[in-house]
Chain A
Amino acid sequence: KQEVTQIPAALSVPEGENLVLNCSFTDSAIYNLQWFRQDPGKGLTSLLLIQSSQREQTSGRLNASLDKSSGRSTLYIAASQPGDSATYLCAVRSTGNQFYFGTGTSLTVIP
């Protein structure tokens, strides 16, 4: 069974700092990988979707990379802002059409 792990579980950084969130998965037979953010009391908002054939995706200050062979993905956030404070989750869609979520990294950006 696919296992998705996110490290660290929590992260606190000063405003303006660049940061990296990590996601690892045990089975490289994936269809795609998706990064979400979740604000308290809200559902998940999709940030970036990387297909298995792609290496990275960018949206504004966010950049996500995918190394399928090593089972890793990173989410890079440039010039962090207090509004970036949220929980970030990665999710893997396997080639068998199963969906697996990590437990998330809780990010706090301090003004």
Chain B
Amino acid sequence: DAGVIQSPRHEVTEMGQEVTLRCKPISGHNSLFWYRQTMMRGLELLIYFNNNVPIDDSGMPEDRFSAKMPNASFSTLKIQPSEPRDSAVYFCASGTANQPQHFGDGTRLSIL
């Protein structure tokens, strides 16, 4: 299995631009998680899906952030418009009930 695949690995863009992060979970996993990691705040859960349905989005910082999971093999996290304080590493993880989460290698996002 290829594991959780995230793209792009790095993204540098100017503030105000739309940013789309992509994630392909491990086949057979029915839960998908989006996290953000910064030095200041550590690792924060933004949103998670179960069977493609958003279960908890209370960690999404504001309306500029949105996430979708149109099918079991793909999810996106979108930021529009982006701001410098959104700069962070964004991780996607997938799993099943009672089993460990498997993380992707992350997208390092820099907003100038």
Identify the A interface with B (CB < 8 A): 32, 34, 36, 41-46, 49, 51, 89, 91, 97-104
B interface, over-half SS = strand
Q: Is the CB of A99 within 8 A of B45?
A: yes
Task: Count how many chain B residues have C-beta atoms less than 8 Å from C-beta atoms of the other chain.
Answer: 21
Identify the B interface with A (CB < 8 A): 4, 33, 42-45, 48, 55-56, 58, 91, 93, 98-106
A interface, over-half SS = strand
Closest residue of chain B to A89 (Cβ to Cβ) is B43
Q: Is the CB of B45 within 8 A of A43?
A: no
| Complex CA distance for A103 and B43, rounded to whole angstroms | 7
The smallest C-beta distance from A99 to any residue of chain B, in angstroms, reads 5
Q: Is the CB of A43 within 8 A of B91?
A: yes
Residue in A32, A41, A45 whose beta carbon sits within 8 Å of that of B103 in the complex: A45
Q: Is the CB of B43 within 8 A of A101?
A: yes
A97-B99 contact given A43-B91, A43-B104, A103-B42, CB 8 Å threshold: no
